[in-house]
Amino acid sequence: MQPPRYFRSSRRIGPEGRSAAGNDRDDALLFSVKIATIFSEGVHGMKKIIIAADHGALELKKNIVSHLEHKGYSVDDLGVFNEDSVDYPDMARVGCEAFLKGDYEYGILACGTGIGISISANKINGIRCALPQNVFAARMAREHNNANILAFGGRIDYPEPVEDMIDAFDESVFSSEERHGRRVAKMNSMDNT
């Protein structure tokens, strides 16, 4: 597991723990930027994530909630909380409607395969739900598609941990390239068709 992005740097650190350039002023500046980021993201801007799942992804949901809380995020868990059968379209509606009303960074939905809940979510205006298969797809879901919901399957044997996919999505930002904005605008225009 990688440390949060505010502890990572592309700068090379030399053998004495100093920057490769050995510049104490640069090191102090880097440290102050990291501290400022911690406070701006952590204390006053704690990320809020919403999650909902059906009975087919109960254990996966628990693991995801634990992972996000360990990162210091506020997680609104809308259920389910037991293995009693529920319909995934109902959980998609609950999760997406709460996401659209709340002040959430993004949402996560899960069912047995992730397919049914993602299809259901994408029927709701304003939702762009992605069903990533790996870290690359999760990153692209944010960078190219500006997805606001991720979907996963509790019965799927993924090639990479779901938590790594969430981290890749979480650490990405929507691309500023015009072509991606144009394409997302076209997707959004299809909401009421």
Distance CA 185, CA 163 (A): 29
For this structure, is 96 an active site residue? no
Give the strand pairing for 48-53 and 74-77: parallel
For strands 129-130 and 149-153, give the pairing. Answer: parallel
Find where tokens 């992005």 sit.
5
Catalytic site residue 144?
yes
Count CA within 13 A, CB hemisphere, residue 59: 4
Q: CB 94: neighbour CB atoms within 10 A?
A: 17
Q: Which of 55, 96, 111, 129 is catalytic?
A: 111
> Which residue shows structure tokens 């505010």?
6
Cα-Cα-Cα-Cα dihedral of 42, 48, 53, 57, to 10°?
-10
Distance between CA atoms of residues 38 and 4, nearest Å: 9
Catalytic residues: 111, 144
